[in-house]
Chains A and B, each alone.
Chain A
Amino acid sequence: MTITIEAPPWRVGVDVGGTFTDLVVADSEGRTEVFKVPSVPADPGEGVINALTTACEALDQPMEKFLGDCQFFLHGSTVATNTLLEGKGATVGLLTTAGFRDSLEARRGLRKDPWDHRTPYPPVLVPRYLRQPVGGRIDARGNEVEPVNLDDVRASCKVFRDEGVESIAVCLLNSFINTAHEDAVADVLREEGVCDWISVSSDIVPIMGEYERTSTTAVNAYVMPRVASYLTALQQKLIDMGLETKLLMLQSNGGAASLDQLIRQPVNLLLSGPSAGVGAMQHLASGIGENNLVSMEIGGTSCDVMLMHEGRVAITDSLSVNDYDLVTPSVDIHTVGAGGGTIAGIDGAGLMYAGPEGAGARPGPAAYGYGGTRPTVTDAHLVLGRMRPGPYAGGSVSLDMSLAEQALDTEIATPAGISRTEAAAGLIRIVEQNLLHAVERISIQRGYNPGRFMLIACGGAGPMHGASVGRKLGARAVYIPRQAGAFCAIGMQHADVRRDFVHVVMRELNDDAIPAIAEGYDRLRQQALEALKNEGFEEKDTEFGYELDLHYEGQQWDVRVALDPAATPDEIRTAFEVEYDRQFGHTNPESRINVAKLRVVGIGKLPPLEDPKFDAVDEVVTPIETRKVYAESAREFLETSVYQGADLSHGQSVLGPAIIEEATTTILVGPGDRVTVDALNNYTVTFETEE
């Protein structure tokens, strides 16, 4: 490959995915290069080292020199998620208020699909015999009703020792309003020294609601020992190899934080990786001057949809991982089972379906030749001429046309009595309908009109569907980053350090509340500033965002508004009602408003990457070949030009039907679609004719 980056210091982003580990290196002039190697599920760190080795070879640099020249090293890791998914976490002991030790297991009765009553809950992370009661009670106003019984804690420690407990979680009733009992319990735990790993709910997530707070604290305790030892070892290895900067981990909130700040709060890492798409969206938004964006990132098994409205990607509190319910600031991502490996077929009563089941990496699509016999999206693209048989994904697999044809014939065409082409084209139509519905859902559910957003097609498989879904959606244009296949790793290049702090208030919004709000903000800002100073930031490189969670009296859910910390009650009310009206279509002007929570978001600004400049070219670009590719709008195979991405530069454009082959993705556009390379060296698809 031709290497275009040259001037250190480097900024490195590494995203470990299920199939590939993506490494992106940016140089001091903002040019980026992507390196993709297979992931090593047994030891993801090995994949990171392999990616580094590949990069160093390409750059012709010794590892030590390369790492020494790294100014920032950002990492998105699935280690926390996998620990939870695989059930490989620690033996956890949980201390709860006496009489309430079962909220973790009762789960408030929450289930995703009530109809599906035969599916059990995932295993409870702490068995009941390790959920130990502690006497004492704080009431709903924060007053002590009964002193905490520390002898109960000591007795529990005996049990924990005897049972080999490796990590302890503490969650007492109403600790979000008064931490005294939890503090006292934590002191005794440190004194007793059963283990080093202690997670206290008022530190981890000081929010109201004992089920979600306990569950979050228990997950934290469960993943902590493994995550800490794995990431610490990886960081040490990189330092031994020459890295002179700290590892910055991507958190679920889309921002970064250094490993030592996160080691006791690994629950913040459950969306590490996918959340980095936010950085990429923010960068694109400023680059193209468009701040209403929906991204559709499609990989092998699923599609992640994210929405940016007026420059902001929503951060939610709730996250569900493998049906474990968590409260942790997380980028709002809607995931659907639609990717390259999505399986299609005909059900027992003659209806065609595609997804949500996927073929995974093994056996994968039938065309991989690893024994898969059910047709997938990739098989359909192959049959429709959109992908070419032979080496694929950097040569890690080879696509076999006859296997794809056989799978489509056996599972769809023959039983449904349609042609192979109809089967393949139908498969793609159903999948693209799912994608369209996913985009409509994330926008309509949140009160937005999807037609007003520019669609970003990314992920290795996204650009194959972007133009088609964009047309169906009525989008003005579809944007395709040139390095679409490494969207999250690219996003890491544009992440800032971010720490979120929350404080529960629970009082009526009126003049009396203002001093309490001011005091609360002040405390949270101090916490945030201290955290950012620990990350090495000076105050001048920090920014703080202030948010309030508010609701009408009697309501149990909040609406979040961002506003000036010195806002008056009238200004707060107005801001709340504007947002409430946008979401729910009405307001209750007579109703009192309660302030539920204060939030301070602390941002430590990393120096922005330069945007590389690309000179405009106006030569006509020539395809590397033409071949027959199926076009949905024409319902037939059309002679289609195939271009090499590297041949297309700023200012050049091609008219569909066309295929553009990039290093990390393939772009498909239909008849009447025009693809233009913009000043950022990325692709924009516009629609010149009605379909």
Chain B
Amino acid sequence: MDAKVPATTLDPVILALTQNRLDHISHQMGWVMVRTARSPIFSQAHDFSCFIAGPTGEVVSQADGIPIHTGSGGFGVRAILRDFGDELADGDVYLLNDPWEAGGNHLPDWVIARPIFVDGQMVGLTCNRAHQSDIGGGAAGAYNPVATDAWSEGVRLPVLKLVEAGKTREDVWKLLMLNTRTPHLQDGDLRAMLGSTRIGMERVAALVDELGVNNAMDYFTGVLDHADRSVRAEIAKLPDGVYEAEDRSDNDCFEIRDVTVRVKLTINGENMKVDFTGTDEQILGFKNSSLGNTYSAIFTALASFLDPHLPHNEGAFRCVDVIAPEGTIINANEGAPTTMCTVFFAHEIIHAVWKALAQADPDRGCAGWAKNVFGISVGKEESGHPYVFYHGAAAAGSGAVDGRDGFNQIGHVCTLGGLTMPNVEVYEQLYPVMFHRQEFRMDAAGSGKYRGGSGCDYEVDIMTPATHSFRGEGLNYETGYGINGGGNGAPGKMHLRHGDGETEEAPKFGLRRTDTVRFVTQSPGGGGYGQPLERDPALVLRDWRDGIISDATMRDVYGVVAAADGKSVDSGATEALRASM
């Protein structure tokens, strides 16, 4: 019973009301953003996050937003306080994106932050981090696959005062509009970000006013302290020890070579240290992670492993100490290209942390989510209209956990599947493409008591000449690792079948121009959880009947024998076979 008593004199009811209200306000900022932003990415893919920071820059609420945006918002806010601490005034708004100078995560994600004043006192900031449609740089659309430095990726923004005493700085605004290929979208999106933070500011100010400034600050601290206690209690359940793990990519965007994230995770009572010493050096290509992104990836791994309902504010991170050597793939030096890092190396960081946590608590282990293999095809329709086609329907399989098989097809792990797949029919309406197949693979799921996701067989005709940007991270090596005796998922494969009937293996990265072409892809399978021989024979039979596993896999991997009618398990024969294995 005593464990429940918080070391605080705060009223538990008001504390709950304050936390719920803050979360509601950050959701509300998100609704305003969805309703008013210009780019479809916000209303369809929700590639933004809204958060509220307290007066010292600690994020007190981030109820809205995608996982890989969570856990790093405070970096930007603290950069604002560092640069403008004494000058912050009512009616000011700040803008930033640079990972090194201004606490950003990668250049396309811009942060708008608005200080909140009540009774002349700065009580916090409302913030919106949102992915911009274009920020200049060497390629349209913010992703430049051949970038070898940050300057080829887009404009770098320090902490800028965008609005001063309620008046937009037109010179700065023009500078921004000159540095994008899509000023009409960016103009609208920035205004939406301004609007959402203004609504948030008004609501937070009303809340603070209601509670009284000093009292409110105590409750903001109380909200953070509660998150801190919640996570500490979870970490305290893990056995003390040092757990080491790694995850790798097989390429640096220009050549095939291993690049590895190494983590040493130390649990000491209710504290955790995440030490990346020994991680490989940063690479030439755009997958280098910024420090902010690395924090988000760690938070995503930690929260999804421990309890997804833990509060997502910065108090939750107080007990975690991160050691991120500079110049490595997880904390690249100033000027390194980083645009892809929110997907890769976020994926490898999440995997490495999951693997280390699983050593501490195997029951909660998460098998690996296979890395996606799909890129983009860019061409022109008959009418001359350009189109940009994502092969998102080729999504990979996820890993299994105790009690759940892998999702057969799901979005990236950095969004925990939050980015979804399109309908084939919709894509055929929008693009000059025709699909021939999108079906689960056989024998590609990592085996296990709970099996991995199957991945899919994917075939699509691109019916115009097109340039293809390849991002085959999950091709040709196993990326969905198994855990606790579970098997790895099968690697992805990708071929291009040309009009003349010739078939070739698709490259892993880089750009290629082709005439009409068919993509023949097998997306990779997710990892399994636990020993396959412990899988319920009825589930094995179902997978076999469903064509997810072959005769040989049923017999040789799972040790299950079907009855003569093929509709039930031959229990006697299965027991005997399993005993012999």
Contact = CB atoms under 8 A, between A and B. Distances in A.
Interface stretch (B7-15, B336-344, B478-486, B571-579): B7-15
Contacts of B515: none
Contact of A116 (B32, B308, B402, B434): B308
B581 interface: no
A212 B13 CA distance: 42
Which has the most chain B C-beta neighbours within 10 Å: A351, A352, A429, A583? Answer: A351
B188 interface: yes
A659 B18 CA distance: 30
Interface string A556-570: 110000000000000
Nearest to A412: B12
B376 interface: no
A585 B35 contact: yes
A632 to B, nearest CB: 11
B545 interface: yes
B11 A418 contact: yes
B13 A209 contact: no
A511 B45 CA distance: 33
A: interface residue count bin: 35 or more
B182 interface: no
A103 B438 contact: yes
A214 to B, nearest CB: 10
A348 B3 contact: yes
Contacts of B38: 586
A554 interface: yes
B424 A117 contact: no
Interface stretch (A283-291, A436-444, A601-609, A663-671): A436-444
A583 B31 CA distance: 11
Contact of A352 (B12, B308, B407, B420): B12
Nearest to B40: A555
A555 to B, nearest CB: 6
Interface stretch (B86-94, B225-233, B257-265, B280-288): B225-233
Contacts, number: 206
A102 B16 contact: no
Interface stretch (B21-29, B77-85, B467-475, B498-506): B21-29
A292 interface: no
A434 B34 CA distance: 22
Nearest to B223: A351
Interface stretch (B97-105, B116-124, B241-249, B409-417): B409-417
B420 A108 contact: yes
Contacts of B111: none
Nearest to A428: B13
Contacts of A108: 420-423
Nearest to B420: A109
A127 B542 contact: yes
A400 to B, nearest CB: 24
B169 interface: no
A105 B417 CA distance: 15
B426 interface: yes
Interface in B498-556: 542, 545-548
Contacts of B34: 445
Interface in B328-373: 366
B35 A350 contact: no
B430 interface: yes
Interface in B375-423: 395, 398, 401-405, 407-411, 415-423
Contacts of B366: 117
Contacts of A88: none
A350 B16 CA distance: 10
A609 B38 CA distance: 47
B50 to A, nearest CB: 13
B409 A352 contact: no
A434 B20 contact: yes
Contacts of B416: 114-115, 117
Contact of A99 (B407, B411, B439, B545): B439
Interface string B417-446: 111111111101110001111111000000
Given A117-B308, A415-B1, A209 B439 contact: no
14 contacts: A100-B439, A106-B456, A109-B421, A115-B416, A128-B440, A129-B545, A129-B546, A139-B434, A209-B426, A354-B16, A414-B1, A444-B31, A445-B34, A584-B36
Interface of A: 99-103, 105-106, 108-111, 113-121, 127-129, 139-140, 145, 163, 173-174, 176, 208-212, 346-354, 414-418, 422, 425-426, 429-430, 433-434, 437, 440-441, 444-445, 447, 506, 554-557, 583-586
Given A347-B230, A426-B13, A586-B188, 10 more contacts: A120-B405, A176-B425, A210-B425, A346-B4, A351-B12, A351-B16, A415-B4, A433-B17, A441-B31, A506-B429
